[in-house]
Amino acid sequence: MDIEQQRQTIVSSVFDKRNASGSDESYVVHLKIWEDAGTDGGGRKPRYIILSQSAKEGGYMHKSKQNTNSTFSVGKTWRIRELRGLQVLNPLSFNVTLSRTYRWETESKEEQAVFLEALVKLFRVALGPSTPLQLEGLNDYYEAQETRQPQRAAGPSNPSVTLAGSTYSGYRNTAQSNDYETARRNPSPARSNPRNAPPPSKPQSLQAPESRERTISARSRDAPRNRPPSITVPQIAAVPSPPRQTRRPSNAASTQSQIPAQTSQVVQPRASQQTTSTFSRDSRATIQSQASDSIPSRTTNASPAPTQTRKYTARADVFPIENVPSRRDQNARISYFDPANQSSLDRLLVQNTDSQIDIDGEEESARATLTNVEEMIEGYEWASDDVIGRKSTRGAVDLIQARLLDELTALEKANVHSFLESDDRIGIVMKYLEDAITELDSMNSLISSYKIHLNAVSEDILFIQSQNRGLQVQTQNQRALLGEIQNLLRTVHVDQDALMTLTQGSLEKAQSIQRLEEAASELYKALQAGRDTDMAATMERLQEYRTHNAQFCKRMFDFLSIMFTAQSKLLTGDSSGLAKSARGHPLLIEHQAIEEYLGRYSGLMLYLKEMDEGVYSKLCASYFSTISDLHQTQISNLLSIYLNLVKKAQDEEQDTSGFAGGGPPVSRSAAGMRRAGTLIRSPLEGRRDKEKNAEGDLRASEAFLMVLEQMQSSVHRESDFITDFLQINDAGLTFADYMGLDSYFRRQASRSEGLSQPTMKLIRNAMDLIFGFLPMEVKTWIDNAVAKDNIEIIGVLVVLERHLENPEPRGTPFFLNMLDKQHTRLRTAYERHVSDQLRGIEQTKLTSKKRRGVAHFIKYFSSYVTRVENQLSGAEGLEIRTLVDGGYDKIVHAMFESLKQLAKLEGEGEDKSQLNYHVIMIENMHYFVTEMSRMEVGATHVFVERAQGIYDENLGAYIKILFRRPVAKLLDFFDGVERVSQDPAGNLSSNSNYNKSALKKVVKEFTAKDMRKHIDALYKRVEKHFTEMSDKTSVSEDMVPIIWKACEHELVSITNRITTLIIQNYGDSGVSLDYTTADIESACRRQRTNA
């Protein structure tokens, strides 16, 4: 990327963005530098310093880097007003002092020089010429511009001569300026050796001062660089200095001195007259300017003095510097010579000139001038033809300029020496000056001595003042301390009346308790204020107060311990702490009287808790013990009374053997079931239950519910009371908060360490200490209640689960934990209950001698389900519902399996054994389906469907076996006919077993009369199976009509089937059955009627 592209990229990527955000910066110049990246940074890194001008801040200097996409990003920005100094170390490095000093290295000394010149000019334009700026190794260009403007004589303006060199990146070539600065800093003698000058690197054409266009071409001294597009360089008007008259010595006709005259130029940029320099990578820069007529010069007998032209080129649009008129007097210059010193100057020049030219001034001509020029430039390896041919390079012009500057410097030095040598009075003046300096040094020594003494005295004065201030502060502190001590003494003071109240005040009446609280607050404040002090003035008094505090706390403990017992005895009385409800049921007497009496001492309990933890702990233990005895007395009596109110199971309900059987229980098909809170009972049973309830008998679950509600209320009230009375809570209330003391005492109370671990453990286990007896009492009561009726365990579980599911609003953690433990124990007990029922069923299978009729466990199951469901009213969604359903499933499965085993053991022959098996299964499944269908229990529907399937399966098998004896031949024949007819290869007419003759033979054997006889025999067998083999008292007596109805339906079906086969296979034979379905139905109906 060449320099012009860099400039455009910088403008687009930096200034466009900054100006878009409200800035008003404009690009001036940029310079590529190298800075040290440190040991970890990998050596040097390239950066670009961009200079910009702003109307608000004057200007900025940005440090940026070039990104991978060739754009530039600014990393750091300084305002131009932050610049403090510049130091040029060498042509390729310089230091910049801002907030700290940076050292930057460059690649081109021309670019560095142009950048520094622009930076100084921008600083002067922005901050003014009077702003200090430390420069080292370079000129202050702004001041140089002012000082180089000589006074001009009035008259027409001289034509301007513009001479500009090549520029880089929009800058002018500063080779001449650099050479001039070098010559100014290192002045040489009047004539420097031409061989010591650096060789010219750029030839420059020098033209005569004619009004024509001239072109100067230059090449870069360094390696080929990218050169920017054209920039604008303003014309510079050069005004020659007015001619000076010089005196010549007497031998002026034969000698000639060469005096260079300096011409200062003033920069006058014009917008309308600009010279454009255009550069390309492979072409030389060409600068065209219009030169006016030749510059008039003074011609004397000596050779014409060469004029030096100082160029000061800048961008007109960036640094518009106005032409400031020169304020310095021309005669004030050190190089000005008056006529009196002209002879000394001529003599000095003659002595120091390397070669003198004796040519008469009047005979001087143009040829002589050219000869002198040739002699002057011989040392620079110039030929006269080259000079005349104007083929010189730029480098030679620079060397000539430097040589002329050296000559000018030597001339100025000679002028100074002429002043010093011309007057002897200078020595006298110098002597007086040295004496004056000596006196000043002596005075300086005296002043230094005085200063030392004054400093010593000043230190003493400061020490005395600091001591005085320290004494004042100490006095103020002592006064404040005295005030605090007096305030503290007033704070830790307790009136004797308050102490007497604490010692002898009554603890019984409410007004006395209030006075005790106020007196205790006085003692409390004194002890809290003296907690962190060790002053001897308060120690004795505080010790006395601590003694009073201990005596008061002991007095409270003795009094309240007695009152705990007294109030408990008053509540218990002769009724053991129980009362009776309107229905005659026992009730626990609430502790409201005790709570109101003891609640008056809650404030003093706070005082006791903070001021004497040991006494507080003992008092808590005393209360827990006393109130626990009271609760145990009340609850034990309550449980005992309610246990006597629990009724035993009725004789027809309580079967001691359960599923094991011991006697045939009465069927519960007519018994009512309570479903969803509704009890369906017969009038007699309802009246009997009413009479028993009037006597006070309750079911175990009902009694347990009443007891549980009263116990829960008692536990809840006690928990709330001890929380308020003994302050067993996390509220953090203190005695200072209770009495409304100042914030100081509240802070002191909050800083206390709190209760110790033993005391915290005591109050955390308060409920366990008070109601520790309750879990065992409840367990014993439940076991005794369930022993009266073991089925009631389900009702007790229902009550427990309801309380656990809805603990609010009176549930306490202690009480719920106790209920949860009881629930877990009773759940295990219920599982043992189910296991006992299964063992009873198994025992029936092994020990039963009568293997006919309905089994005992089948009969008992309906009664068992009825009693269980009566206790599960409203238990949907509880865990007990799932538990009971699982128990049902286990019991039903065991019953069906045991029933199959019982049926298989009955019968001697194979057919008889099968008939007995089917009869037992049919009768038991019919009984199970009939009884369970009446109850409409959702959990038993699946069992009813299973039993119905077993019933249908065994009934079909029973009928098939029953029909095999009377109509076996008929059934076998037509089964064969159906089988052969369905075979594609079969032919009934060709089959001797199934042809028409065989059909006639079979049909002839089963006439209508024969079928009536067979039907009568079938009915007798059915009646025998389901009357003689069944229990007369059971519902199995109704089985004969049901079974006979099924047999009739099967006979009709067989008859229809045989008739259909005859029509299909023997339609043309004219053979048919001797009886019809009507005959079958008539014979079966006759048997039902006779029965």
724-779 tens-digit pLDDT: 888 877 777 889 899 998 888 888 888 776 788 898 899 889 999 999 999 999 99
The answer to whether the beta carbons of residues 551 and 503 sit under 8 Å apart is yes
Tens of pLDDT, residues 346-357? 554 444 444 344
The length of the chain is 1091
| Comparison of pLDDT for 967 and 142, the residue scoring more | 967
Does the pLDDT value for residue 922 go beyond 70?
Answer: yes
Tell me what pLDDT residue 783 has: 94
Assigned token pair, 194: 């031409």
The answer to whether the beta carbons of residues 397 and 306 sit under 8 Å apart is no
Tens of pLDDT, residues 635-670? 999 999 999 999 887 654 554 456 765 444 444 433
Backbone dihedral region of 213: left (phi > 0), alpha (psi from -120 to 50 degrees) or beta? beta
Collapse the DSSP code of 756 into the 3-class scheme (helix H, G, I; strand E, B; otherwise coil) and give the result: coil
Long-range CB contacts (within 8 A, 24+) of 588-596: 588/634, 588/635, 588/638, 588/710, 588/711, 588/713, 588/714, 589/634, 590/714, 590/717, 591/630, 591/714, 591/717, 591/718, 591/721, 593/567, 594/567, 594/568, 595/717, 595/721, 595/725
CB atoms within 10 A of CB 824: 11
Tell me what pLDDT residue 1028 has: 65
Does the pLDDT value for residue 232 go beyond 50?
Answer: no
Percent of the chain with pLDDT over 90: 32
Tell me what pLDDT residue 47 has: 93
The answer to whether the beta carbons of residues 315 and 137 sit under 8 Å apart is no
**How does residue 913 score in pLDDT terms, banded at 50, 70 and 90?**
confident
Tell me what pLDDT residue 205 has: 35
Tell me what pLDDT residue 428 has: 86
Nearest Cα neighbor of 666 from 928, 840, 863 is 863
Q: How far apart are CA 163 and CA 167, in angstroms?
A: 12
Which residues lie below 8 Å from residue 369, measured CB to CB, with a gap of 6+? 303, 304
Q: Compute the average pLDDT of residues 1030-1039.
A: 58
Q: How far apart are CA 618 and CA 615, in angstroms?
A: 5
Tell me what pLDDT residue 599 has: 93
Least confident of 212-226, 340-354, 989-1003: 212-226
Nearest Cα neighbor of 379 from 360, 402, 358 is 402
Tell me what pLDDT residue 1072 has: 86
Does the pLDDT value for residue 1024 go beyond 70?
Answer: yes
Phi, psi of 337 (to 5 degrees): -120, 125
Q: How far apart are CA 1085 and CA 1079, in angstroms?
A: 10
Q: Compute the average pLDDT of residues 18-24.
A: 76
| Comparison of pLDDT for 265 and 999, the residue scoring more | 999
Q: How far apart are CA 446 and CA 675, in angstroms?
A: 126
Give DSSP secondary structure letters for 382-427. --HHHHHHT---HHHHHHHHHHHHHHHHHHHHHHHHHHHHH-THHH
CB atoms within 10 A of CB 936: 11
Residue holding tokens 């007998």?
301
The answer to whether the beta carbons of residues 167 and 277 sit under 8 Å apart is yes
CB atoms within 10 A of CB 281: 9
Tell me what pLDDT residue 394 has: 59
Q: What is the 3-state secondary structure (H, E, C) of 482-519?
A: HHHHHHHHHHCCCCHHHHHHHHHCCCCCHHHHHHHHHH
Least confident of 281-295, 1006-1020, 1045-1059: 281-295
| Comparison of pLDDT for 750 and 109, the residue scoring more | 109
Q: Give the mean pLDDT of the chain.
A: 74
| Comparison of pLDDT for 24 and 776, the residue scoring more | 776
Does the pLDDT value for residue 317 go beyond 90?
Answer: no
Q: How far apart are CA 366 and CA 299, in angstroms?
A: 11
**How does residue 64 score in pLDDT terms, banded at 50, 70 and 90?**
very high
Tell me what pLDDT residue 332 has: 39
Least confident of 10-19, 124-133, 479-488, 1011-1020: 479-488
| Residue 1004, H or E segment | helix 996-1005
**How does residue 288 score in pLDDT terms, banded at 50, 70 and 90?**
very low
Give the range with max mean pLDDT: 280-289, 423-432, 661-670, 700-709. Answer: 700-709
Q: How far apart are CA 937 and CA 860, in angstroms?
A: 16
Backbone dihedral region of 740: left (phi > 0), alpha (psi from -120 to 50 degrees) or beta? left
Tens of pLDDT, residues 806-830? 876 677 889 999 999 999 999 999 9
Does the pLDDT value for residue 888 go beyond 70?
Answer: yes
The answer to whether the beta carbons of residues 826 and 793 sit under 8 Å apart is yes
CB atoms within 10 A of CB 658: 22
The half-sphere exposure of 361 on its side-chain side, counting CA atoms within 13 A, is 19
Tell me what pLDDT residue 488 has: 65
Give the range with max mean pLDDT: 476-480, 678-682, 774-778, 906-910. Answer: 774-778
Q: How far apart are CA 327 and CA 550, in angstroms?
A: 102
**How does residue 104 score in pLDDT terms, banded at 50, 70 and 90?**
very high
Tens of pLDDT, residues 540-570? 788 888 999 999 999 999 999 999 999 999 9
The answer to whether the beta carbons of residues 871 and 882 sit under 8 Å apart is no
Does the pLDDT value for residue 970 go beyond 70?
Answer: yes
**How does residue 375 score in pLDDT terms, banded at 50, 70 and 90?**
low
Residue holding tokens 């067979």?
1014
**How does residue 701 score in pLDDT terms, banded at 50, 70 and 90?**
very high
Q: How far apart are CA 1043 and CA 932, in angstroms?
A: 20
Q: Compute the average pLDDT of residues 878-886.
A: 92
Tell me what pLDDT residue 817 has: 93
Nearest Cα neighbor of 72 from 23, 125, 16 is 16
Tell me what pLDDT residue 1057 has: 92
Nearest Cα neighbor of 895 from 869, 934, 927, 856 is 856
Tens of pLDDT, residues 139-189? 755 444 444 444 333 333 333 333 233 333 333 333 333 443 433 344 433
Long-range CB contacts (within 8 A, 24+) of 338-343: 339/245, 339/247, 341/415, 341/418, 341/419, 341/422, 342/246, 342/247, 343/247, 343/249
Q: Which amino acid is at 885?
A: D
CA 1064 to chain CA centroid, nearest Å: 89
Backbone dihedral region of 666: left (phi > 0), alpha (psi from -120 to 50 degrees) or beta? beta
The answer to whether the beta carbons of residues 995 and 988 sit under 8 Å apart is yes
Q: How far apart are CA 769 and CA 771, in angstroms?
A: 6
Nearest Cα neighbor of 830 from 878, 874, 877 is 878
The half-sphere exposure of 1024 on its side-chain side, counting CA atoms within 13 A, is 10
Does the pLDDT value for residue 386 go beyond 80?
Answer: no
The answer to whether the beta carbons of residues 1071 and 996 sit under 8 Å apart is yes
Q: How far apart are CA 694 and CA 576, in angstroms?
A: 25
Q: How far apart are CA 718 and CA 772, in angstroms?
A: 14
The pairing of beta strand 307-309 with beta strand 261-263: parallel
Q: How far apart are CA 939 and CA 356, in angstroms?
A: 146
CB burial readout 594-623, b (16+ within 10 A) else e: bbeebebbebbbbbbbbbbbebbbbbbbbb
CB atoms within 10 A of CB 809: 6
Query: Residue 18, exposed/middle/buried by CB under 10 A (0-12, 13-18, 19+)?
Result: middle
The answer to whether the beta carbons of residues 138 and 116 sit under 8 Å apart is yes
Is the bond preceding 209 in cis, omega lying within 30 degrees of 0? no
**How does residue 261 score in pLDDT terms, banded at 50, 70 and 90?**
very low
Name the packing angle between helices 342-352 and 394-422 (round to 10°).
120
**How does residue 62 score in pLDDT terms, banded at 50, 70 and 90?**
very high
Q: How far apart are CA 774 and CA 780, in angstroms?
A: 10
Q: Compute the average pLDDT of residues 575-582.
A: 86
Tell me what pLDDT residue 660 has: 64
Tell me what pLDDT residue 177 has: 36
Q: How far apart are CA 434 and CA 426, in angstroms?
A: 12
Instruction: Give the E-state strand segments of 191-306 in sequence order.
Output: 213-218, 231-234, 237-238, 261-263, 265-266, 274-277, 285-290
Q: Compute the average pLDDT of residues 922-936.
A: 90
